[in-house]
Chains A and B, each alone.
Chain A
């Protein structure tokens, strides 16, 4: 399986704190994406980082990518209760074209 591993599995923080989640994957990639899922709902795309990029920002989100370590991190700054959700990284393995694999996910709870 090319599924990535995420840690922590679960994270609970106070509103206003920063949340960091990590993703490790197994094979070479073209890009890595982060998605968010509210309980029992569809996934929402957050940010895409390409294999030749090291860092990317979008609002309160900061993503880093280290292809030598096959790892990525997602930082959410100044968290809000509305950020409570599951967060998944997803990778496409280079050369496979169509196949898109999700990591195991981090469940984030932001306490008001």
Chain B
């Protein structure tokens, strides 16, 4: 299984809602990543988990809260988002961090009203 899955595919939420994005991989990868991508822009790194511990937080606002319950799962909890947070949220995984090929999920298209 060389797939990274993400749910939901699309999400529309209000600014007062709480929602979660989910990501799953069964490749035995020990590093997992969240990226944010705006239209016609490159992905921007948000968080890196290495061996289920948060190793990088790229100064992301606290309304985004990552969680790694186990080595196969990565969540992104969303609360009190702003309309400018609307974007494609991509999850990726790699065997190890830094030098390894990252495998990307299809993304969650988030719209904040």
A positions within 8 Å CB-CB of B: 3, 30-31, 33, 35, 40-45, 48, 88, 90, 92, 96-105, 107
List CB contacts (< 8 Å) of B43-94 with chain A.
43-45, 48, 50, 55-56, 88, 90, 92
- CB pair B107–A40 under 8 Å, yes or no, is yes
Q: Whose C-beta in chain A lies nearest to the C-beta of B109?
A: A40
- CB pair B104–A100 under 8 Å, yes or no, is no
Q: Whose C-beta in chain B lies nearest to the C-beta of A95?
A: B98
Docked complex Cα distance between A30 and B100 (Å): 10
- Determine the chain A residues whose CB is within 8 A of the CB of B31 once the complex forms: 98
Q: What 1/0 mask marks residues of chain B from 18 to 60 whose CB sits below 8 Å from any chain A CB?
A: 0000000000000101000000111111001010000110000
B95 interfacial contact with A, CB 8 Å: no
> How many of chain B's residues have a CB under 8 angstroms from any CB in A?
27
The 6 closest A-B pairs by CB, nearest first: A102-B42, A42-B104, A98-B97, A97-B98, A43-B104, A98-B48
State the majority secondary structure of interface residues on A.
strand
Docked complex Cα distance between A90 and B44 (Å): 11
Name 16 extra pairs, CB < 8 A, besides A90-B102, A99-B98, A102-B42. A3-B42, A31-B99, A35-B104, A41-B106, A42-B104, A42-B106, A43-B92, A45-B101, A92-B99, A97-B55, A97-B97, A100-B45, A100-B102, A102-B43, A102-B44, A107-B40
